[in-house]
Amino acid sequence: MIDSRSSKEGCAIRRRRECLNCGHRFTTYEQIERNDLRVVKRNEARQPFDRDKLLGSFIKACEKRPVAIDLLEQASDDVINDLQSENLREIPSNLIGAKVMKKLESIDPVAYVRYASVYRRFQDVGEFLDEIESLERRPLIDAAHQDLFGKP
């Protein structure tokens, strides 16, 4: 290991490493794995909280959209920090979904509607239209400028 420092607002450790055989340098990130957090699904089943699954839902919603992966990783970290601040050991999946929707609304409106359609189980086009009209009536805060106005 060559260097070690705090990263992602103290939520991870960035380590700069070098292979002892070939001298190739690379970077690794270590994050705290929270095994004690559990997600309570709609059917009352419980499973361990999975950061990668959360990030994957952001990535899937933003597929083929002009959204940087760094922004999605930060949004995922923000949701995790919000959840941890609630001091719950079991987190209802609908709480996670609501927080993801709130983040997506400020990141990309199309991604927001995509996620909302799955999360809220839209059954017809009318529900899509209602959500889009509702979205158009709300003021949009650009994710890049959230810190100026406070986190949504």
Say whether both 28 and 41 belong to one domain.
Answer: no
DSSP bridge partners of 48: 38
What 33-42 contacts at long range (C-beta under 8 Å, 24+ apart), as own/partner pairs, is 34/84, 36/89, 37/83, 37/84, 37/88, 37/89, 37/90, 37/91, 38/89, 38/90, 38/91, 39/90, 39/91, 39/92, 39/93, 39/96, 40/90, 40/91, 40/92, 40/93, 41/93, 42/93, 42/94
Assess whether 47 and 99 both reside in one domain. Answer: yes
How confident is residue 149, by pLDDT bands cut at 50, 70 and 90?
Answer: very low
Statement to judge: residues 45 and 21 lie in one domain: no
Q: Is the pTM of this model over 0.75?
A: no
Per-residue pLDDT, 146: 46
In whole numbers, what is the pLDDT of the chain averaged over residues?
Answer: 80
**pLDDT tens by residue, 103-131:** 998 899 889 888 877 766 667 777 766 77
State residue 84's pLDDT score. Answer: 84
Over 90: is that where the pLDDT of 99 sits?
A: yes
Q: What pLDDT score was predicted for residue 11?
A: 65
- CA 30, CA 4: separation in Å to the nearest integer? 10
Co-location of 80 and 28 in the same domain: no
Q: Do residues 65 and 137 both lie within one domain?
A: yes
Residue 149 domain flag: no
Q: Is the CB of residue 117 less than 8 Å from the CB of residue 130?
A: no
Question: How many domains is the chain partitioned into structurally?
Answer: 2
pLDDT band at 13, cuts 50/70/90? Answer: confident
19 and 65 in a common domain? no
For 24-57, write each residue's pLDDT tens digit. 988 888 876 555 789 999 899 999 999 999 999 9
Kindly give, in sequence order, each residue whose CB lies less than 8 Å from that of residue 8, ignoring residues fewer than 6 positions away: 29, 31, 74, 77
**Residue 115 structural domain:** 37-143
